[in-house]
Amino acid sequence: MTSTTRPAASAPAAMRESVRVSLGARSYDILIGPGLLAEAGAEIARRLPGIRALVVADERVAALHADRLSASLDAAGIAHSRLVLPAGEPTKSFAHLGEVVDRVLAERLERGDAVIALGGGVIGDLAGFAAGIVRRGMRFVQVPTSLLAQVDSSVGGKTGINSPRGKNLVGVFHQPALVLADTAILDTLSAREFAAGYAEVVKYGLIDRPDFFRWLGENREAIFAGGPERVEAIATSCRAKAEVVAGDEREDGNRALLNLGHTFGHALESCARYDAARLVHGEAVAIGMALAHRFSVAEGLCPAEDAAAVSAHLAAAGLPTTISAIPGPAFTVDELMDKIAQDKKVVRSALTFILTRGIGRAFVARDVDPASVRRFLAAEVGC
């Protein structure tokens, strides 16, 4: 918890980055840097004068950081209340969605007022979905507190919850008005969660930034330790995501590339019943990316040494890269295939996967034969 004592004002200006997400009338800024939480009130008040707000946080993040956010909102004259929810993936449910919606209405917030999500991707997805449906869309500010949320889930407007039938199957596109990524807040994140978020950072390199992937190889330790490299890695990730989102807001085309590792990953999470003790999202993505590369090798698309380099980098960051690395009962191929077919990226029975021709050369493959996926997985579950 060193970040709570580090004075925000001392953060050098050079350690502040800003990324613009260009979406016409729905454009917004992502501010990135250590100590931003203390400036949240001022930044919000400057952009959204006169609003009232509901802060939504999970119990863990609320205990660590919500009072500092409240102090900052108070100082800027932003009247607000707080809703604290249980931590963990099961909070992305219909029941908790109803709870957030009801609280927003109970506070009589109007369309121009804001829901502020203080937390990881779970709180961001849930609170953003609620903001997207109360009065058919009210304002929404993201204060992402996990690495995964800072580089991925808080950017791009995808919000949603899980269904017993699959992950993120229900939701809306609803862009935030502002994203405030305090990079020092990550100091309280567990090493496991930091590594999980780092999987999504690596993803941007693997999609179409081979230089960034190489840079990560040289700076991984500094990023984990938290210096200017951390700010830079997060800003580059946000920039990468912002570019894809600006070109394809509603995921009709190339935005699908962001799902590298996610078709396998979601199936794994689902088979593990979203049990964080077994697997968290970023770990599933790490395994999924490793699988996507090895499957691409098996399909004769990708050099074997690229797949090996990906696994080596992820493993060095403390991430799992094989299905059998997941603790608990083994998954069957049938279970996995069933989840893959239910994945929302399925388009009329042909399987859609993000495959790759090598590091930084991912592409959308729309006609993947389910039989070859099954053969590939049969070999993988055995490893």
Contact residues for 48 (Cβ-Cβ < 8 A; gap 6+) = 112, 114, 139, 141, 177, 178
Cβ at position 163, least distance to a copy of itself in Å: 6
Q: Are 99 and 69 in contact (CB under 8 A)?
A: no
Residue with tokens 């919606």: 101
Give the nearest distance from C-beta 76 to ligand NAD in angstroms: 22
123 labelled ligand-binding: yes
262 is catalytic: yes
Q: Taking the complex as a whole, how short is the minimal distance between the CB of residue 251 and ligand NAD, in angstroms?
A: 10
Query: How far is Cα 300 from Cα 305, in angstroms, rounded to an integer?
Result: 13
- Closest approach of Cβ 29 to a copy of itself, in Å? 22
121 assigned ligand-binding residue? yes
Nearer to Zn ion, 285 or 340 (CB): 285
Q: What is the DSSP letter of 350?
A: B
Q: Select from 108, 329, 367, 383 the one that contacts a copy of itself (CB under 8 A).
A: 108
User: Is residue 71 within 8 Å of 139, Cβ to Cβ?
Assistant: no
Residue 253: how many CB atoms within 10 A of its CB?
11
Report in angstroms the alpha-carbon separations of 328 from 39, 222, 271, 274, 290: 43, 33, 11, 13, 20
Tell which one of 4, 163, 254, 322 touches a copy of itself (CB under 8 A): 163
Least Cβ distance, residue 363 to a copy of itself (angstroms): 20
Binding site for ligand NAD (CB under 6 A): 58, 60-61, 64, 87-89, 92, 119-123, 125, 145-146, 148-149, 152-153, 156, 158, 168, 185-186, 188-189, 193, 196, 280-282
Q: Does 361 bind a copy of itself (CB under 8 A)?
A: no
122 is annotated as contributing to ligand binding: yes
d(CA 258, CA 341): 19
Applying CB under 8 A, the site for a copy of itself has a residue count of 36
| Cα separation, 189 vs 11, whole angstroms | 20
Residue 185 marked as a ligand binder = no
Identify whether 158 is a catalytic site residue. Answer: yes
Q: Is 243 a catalytic residue?
A: no
Q: Which of 133, 202, 223, 244 binds a copy of itself (CB under 8 A)?
A: 133
Tell me: is residue 88 an annotated ligand-binding position: no
When the beta carbons of 94 and 372 are compared against a copy of itself, the nearer one is 94
For residue 277, give the DSSP letter.
Answer: T
218 among known catalytic residues: no
- Of 9-17, 78-86, 157-165, 292-300, the window that binds a copy of itself (rule: CB under 8 A) is 157-165
Our CA angle for 178, 182, 185, nearest 5°, is 140
Sequence-distant (≥ 6) Cβ neighbours of residue 63 within 8 angstroms:
none
Q: Which residues pair with 139 in a beta bridge?
A: 114
Applying CB under 5 A, which residues contact Zn ion? Answer: 285
d(CA 318, CA 316) in angstroms, rounded, equals 5
SS3 (DSSP) at 93: coil
Instruction: Determine which residue in the list 348, 367, 371, 383 makes contact with a copy of itself, applying CB under 8 A.
Output: 348
Please list every residue from 298 through 327 that binds a copy of itself, using CB under 8 A. Answer: none
Which residue type, as a one-letter code, is found at position 44? Answer: I
Would you tell me how many other CB atoms lie within 10 Å of the CB of residue 237? 27
Closest to Zn ion by CB, 56 vs 199, is 199
Q: Which option in ligand NAD, a copy of itself, Zn ion, none does residue 146 bind, with CB closer than 5 to 8 A by kind?
A: ligand NAD
Question: Is 80 one of the catalytic residues?
Answer: no
Three-class secondary structure of residue 330 per DSSP:
coil
Token couple for 376 = 């590939």
Q: Determine if 98 is a binding residue for a copy of itself (CB under 8 A).
A: yes
Contact partners, residue 272, CB within 8 Å, separation at least 6: 278, 279, 284, 326, 328, 331
47: contact with a copy of itself by CB under 8 A: no
Residues forming contacts to a copy of itself in the complex (CB under 8 A) are 50, 94, 98, 101-102, 105-106, 108, 110-112, 132-137, 158, 160, 163-166, 169-173, 250-251, 341-342, 344, 346-348
Which residue numbers are catalytic?
136, 158, 200, 241, 251, 255, 259, 262, 266, 281
